[in-house]
A and B are shown apart, each in its own frame.
Chain A
Amino acid sequence: DGGITQSPKYLFRKEGQNVTLSCEQNLNHDAMYWYRQDPGQGLRLIYYSQIVNDFQKGDIAEGYSVSREKKESFPLTVTSAQKNPTAFYLCASSRPGNYEQYFGPGTRLTVT
């Protein structure tokens, strides 16, 4: 059963702590993406990776970091430098090129 998994579903952290969100896919897709969704706003791209060991900043990369050591995995770290980290985070993947993107179930992060 192919798909994208994100864990955990809900995450609570204190201000000033770094936190890592997991994203795993078994679709054999080369490209992976991280988006952030806030109420009343469209999804915004944080980081994307077209291939293992390579990634690029999206529109709102400040305060975030990623790694892409394996094709199946693209973890996102929300650092203490991110001013408004509370949001719904969505991971996606696709074949390389301009193909359909598939999304995971999301992680809701709350920072207090």
Chain B
Amino acid sequence: KQEVTQIPAALSVPEGENLVLNCSFTDSAIYNLQWFRQDPGKGLTSLLLIQSSQREQTSGRLNASLDKSSGRSTLYIAASQPGDSATYLCAVNTGANSKLTFGKGITLSVRP
């Protein structure tokens, strides 16, 4: 059974810092991995999707990498801003009818 872990559960950093959010998964047989952002009381916003054949994807200040063999992904946020404060969730698609398995998320707080 696929399990997805995100540690730590919460993170607080000063504005301007570059930071890395980690995601690990137990079964490397994945089709893709998706990073989401969730603001309090809101739905999920898709940030980046990495296919299993890709090593990384970039969107603006965000860069996500994937190392399937070691069961790891990282989300790199450059020059963090208070507006980046949110919960970041990682989800892996094992291909069984596109079912996503989610981690519990990392709640990020960027201090002005």
Q: In the assembled complex, how far is the CB of residue B15 from the closest CB belonging to chain A, in whole angstroms? A: 27
CB <8 Å contact, A42 and B44: no
Chain A residue numbers with a CB within 8 Å of B88 are: none
- A45 to B4 Cα, complex, angstroms: 14
CB <8 Å contact, B4 and A42: yes
Name the one of A31, A44, A98, A105 contacting B95, with C-beta atoms under 8 angstroms.
A98
Name the one of A31, A43, A50, A98 contacting B89, with C-beta atoms under 8 angstroms.
A43
Identify which of A58, A98, A103, A104 gathers the most chain B CB atoms within 10 Å of its CB: A98
CB <8 Å contact, B105 and A105: no
Is A85 an interface residue when CB atoms closer than 8 A count as contact? Answer: no
- A41 to B103 Cα, complex, angstroms: 8
CB <8 Å contact, A42 and B31: no
- Within 60-112 of A, Cβ neighbours of B (below 8 Å) are at 90, 92, 94, 96-106, 108
Is A40 an interface residue when CB atoms closer than 8 A count as contact? Answer: yes
Name the one of A42, A94, A98, A103 contacting B43, with C-beta atoms under 8 angstroms.
A103
CB <8 Å contact, B102 and A42: yes
Residue of A whose beta carbon sits closest to that of B44: A103
Chain A residue numbers with a CB within 8 Å of B89 are: 42-43
- Known A42-B89, A42-B103, A42-B104; judge A98-B41 contact (CB<8 A): no
- A96 to B93 Cα, complex, angstroms: 13
- Known A42-B89, A58-B99; judge A100-B34 contact (CB<8 A): yes
CB <8 Å contact, A48 and B97: yes
Chain A residue numbers with a CB within 8 Å of B104 are: 40-42
CB <8 Å contact, A98 and B46: no
Is A18 an interface residue when CB atoms closer than 8 A count as contact? Answer: no
Is B45 an interface residue when CB atoms closer than 8 A count as contact? Answer: yes
- A47 to B42 Cα, complex, angstroms: 20
17 more CB-based (< 8 A) A-B contacts, given A6-B43, A94-B98, A103-B44:
A4-B43, A40-B104, A42-B102, A43-B44, A43-B89, A44-B102, A48-B98, A98-B31, A98-B93, A99-B98, A100-B46, A101-B91, A101-B98, A102-B46, A103-B36, A106-B42, A108-B41
